[in-house]
Copies of this chain bind each other. A is one copy, B any other.
């Protein structure tokens, strides 16, 4: 079970987990979906930090530094689309992305 601290951390990023009952309304699939996004987000941050600045990565994918920051911080407004585009731009292979997702759950 997810603890209070984690719920608050997610809620602060815009995820709809404010109250306990709200949280319980998340279906198992929705929960997995969020976890996949968070896993990609973490992976992006790790890979990017070794290679370049947020500004450099942003220009590679015609995005902006603020959006990369949100992507790396698990902001709910960032789509999986952008997360995957960004991870690919760090040189990740489909195999690596697959492993990150498989590591969820």
Contact with B along A64-105 (1 / 0, CB 8 A): 000000000000000111001100110001110111111111
Q: How far is the CA of A95 from the CA of B104 in the complex (A)?
A: 8
Residues of A within 8 Å of B, CB-based: how many?
25
Whether A29 is near chain B, meaning CB under 8 Å from some CB there, is yes
Q: How far is the CA of A35 from the CA of B104 in the complex (A)?
A: 22
In the complex, what residues of B have CB within 8 A of residue A94's CB? 32, 35-36, 101-105
- For window 19-68 of A, CB contacts with B under 8 Å fall at 29, 32-33, 35-36, 61
6 A–B pairs (Cβ distance < 8 Å), ordered by A? A94-B101, A94-B103, A94-B105, A95-B102, A98-B100, A101-B101
